Amino acid sequence: MNKIHVDASKEYDILLDKGLINRIGELINPINKSKRVAIITDDIVNTLYGDKVSQSIEFQGFSVDRFVFPNGEKSKNIDTLSDILEFLAKIGFRRNDMLIALGGGVVGDITGLAAAIYMRGISFVQIPTTLLSVVDSSIGGKTAINLRYGKNLTGAFWQPLMVICDIDIIRNLPDGLFAEGMAEVIKCDVIRGMNIIEHVENHSVLDNLDKIIENCIILKRDIVQQDEFETMGIRNILNVGHTIAHGIEKLSNYSISHGKAVGTGLVWESMLASELGLCDDKYVQKIRRAVHTYSLYMSVTYNLDTLIDAMVTDKKNTDSRVTFMLPTTDKVCVERKLCINELKELLKDVRRVYL
């Protein structure tokens, strides 16, 4: 089994191997003394893995409760969070008991937040079941729910006690869900060249999946260790492709998937980088082809003023300029703050030249 150690405000391991879903009880046994857990999951993941995980934990003599909510981003809200907290109180969950987040990024984010605030903080384990949650959301301790006025507007930094990634689950994901996660995987390659785009070009991603996932996790781990609470600007590098993606998601009222928005954001932001002389057109086309391979591109037909406005009001932007982390050909992303007028002219060029 591959163990990736995280040295943040809490130290913990990310475990990576085939078949781990059958060994959850054995893996969490040494880290929980109260022998009591509650699994938080969504209805789809519950049908797939709920009983298996529950039985594996019960087999180690634990008492196991389970809270299941409807799948999807629409559940990542204050009502579900409140329901989880009331459920924990009702079953008499105590400080030493442990939550298990079994699912994708939605389950991980909301369970992490519940863990951060229930009884002023209890421990939790992440069992990510989507590619996106394995390479991104389960690592780094960011937890959140959405508010009516925007995504992830309420949350906390709260590190898990362990992250358990079963590669078989990821390998067997439905194609569309796998593709969604590939947007973040391609992003990792743009941040720190790891030949992933070459694997996409050579159709060898699945043959190298274990290594690709491991490299993406290590990249995120390294960044989080340097800037856990996002105070030093280092963690911003993970936002490559995301400034435009957030604008697109917001204008679509979140009907466009995160993966597609990020895929499109990566293409547009690399075009922007090319316009600014940061990367060459060959590299832009490489990113573009990789994104297209997973059908993660959509043509952006929004009015540019509206799109820029959606980016400016993004919570990551602290002034009237828009902050981008832009790709460079030598794979060292750089931050650029662009004034609205400059950005509009550049985006006009991007549209004219490339679309």
Ligand X SMILES: NC(=O)c1ccc[n+]([C@@H]2O[C@H](COP(=O)([O-])OP(=O)(O)OC[C@H]3O[C@@H](n4cnc5c(N)ncnc54)[C@H](O)[C@@H]3O)[C@@H](O)[C@H]2O)c1
**Residues 250-289 as x/- pattern, contact with ligand X by CB under 6 A:** --------x-------------------------------
Smallest distance, ligand X to C-beta of residue 61, A? 27
Specify the residue, 106 or 290, whose C-beta has the smaller distance to ligand X.
106
Specify the residue, 50 or 327, whose C-beta has the smaller distance to ligand X.
50
Is residue 246 annotated as a catalytic residue, yes or no?
A: yes
Specify the residue, 129 or 236, whose C-beta has the smaller distance to ligand X.
129
Residue 76 is a binding residue for ligand X (CB under 6 A): yes
The footprint of ligand X on this chain (CB under 6 A) covers a number of residues equal to: 29
Check: CB of residue 39 under 8 Å from CB of residue 100: yes
Specify the residue, 142 or 260, whose C-beta has the smaller distance to ligand X.
142
3-state secondary structure string, the chain?
Answer: CEEEEEECCCEEEEEEECCHHHHHHHHHHHHCCCCEEEEEEEHHHHHHHHHHHHHHHHCCCCEEEEEEECCCHHHCCHHHHHHHHHHHHHCCCCCCCEEEEEECHHHHHHHHHHHHHHHHCCEEEEEECCHHHHHHHCCCCEEEEEECCEEEEEEEECCCCEEEEEHHHHHCCCHHHHHHHHHHHHHHHHHCCCCHHHHHHCCCCHHHHHHHHHHHHHHHHHHHHHCCCCCCCCHHHHHCCHHHHHHHHHHCCCCCCHHHHHHHHHHHHHHHHHHCCCCCHHHHHHHHHHHHHCCCCCCCCCCHHHHHHHHHCCCCCCCCCEEEEECCCCCCCEEEEECHHHHHHHHHHHHHHHC
Residue 169 is a binding residue for ligand X (CB under 6 A): yes
Specify the residue, 179 or 308, whose C-beta has the smaller distance to ligand X.
179
| Region binding ligand X by CB under 6 A among candidate stretches 39-47, 85-93, 206-214, 228-236 | 39-47
Residue 347 is a binding residue for ligand X (CB under 6 A): no
- Kindly report the CA angle at 160 between 157 and 165, in degrees rounded to 5? 125
**Tally of residues, the chain:** 355
Is residue 120 annotated as a catalytic residue, yes or no?
A: yes
Specify the residue, 32 or 71, whose C-beta has the smaller distance to ligand X.
71
Contacts of ligand X in 83-122 (CB under 6 A): 103-107, 109
Is residue 35 annotated as a catalytic residue, yes or no?
A: no
Smallest distance, ligand X to C-beta of residue 344, A? 28
Check: CB of residue 112 under 8 Å from CB of residue 138: no
Q: Considering only residues 32, 137, 243, 270, which one is a binding residue for ligand X as defined by CB under 6 A?
A: 137
Q: Considering only residues 136, 214, 249, 314, which one is a binding residue for ligand X as defined by CB under 6 A?
A: 136
Residue 130 is a binding residue for ligand X (CB under 6 A): yes
- Beta partners for residue 144, in sequence order: 155
Smallest distance, ligand X to C-beta of residue 306, A? 22
Contacts of ligand X in 55-74 (CB under 6 A): 71-73
Residue 54 is a binding residue for ligand X (CB under 6 A): no
Buried b / exposed e along 340-351 (16+ C-beta atoms within 10 A): eeebeebbeebe
Specify the residue, 132 or 185, whose C-beta has the smaller distance to ligand X.
132
| Region binding ligand X by CB under 6 A among candidate stretches 57-65, 135-143, 286-294, 326-334 | 135-143
- Report CA 81 to chain centroid distance, whole Å: 19
Report which residue's Cβ sits closest to ligand X: 105
Q: Considering only residues 15, 132, 311, 343, which one is a binding residue for ligand X as defined by CB under 6 A?
A: 132
Contact residues: ligand X, CB under 6 A: 42, 44-45, 48, 71-73, 76, 103-107, 109, 129-130, 132-133, 136-137, 140, 142, 152, 169, 173-174, 177, 180, 258
User: Which positions are catalytic?
Assistant: 120, 142, 184, 220, 230, 235, 239, 242, 246, 258
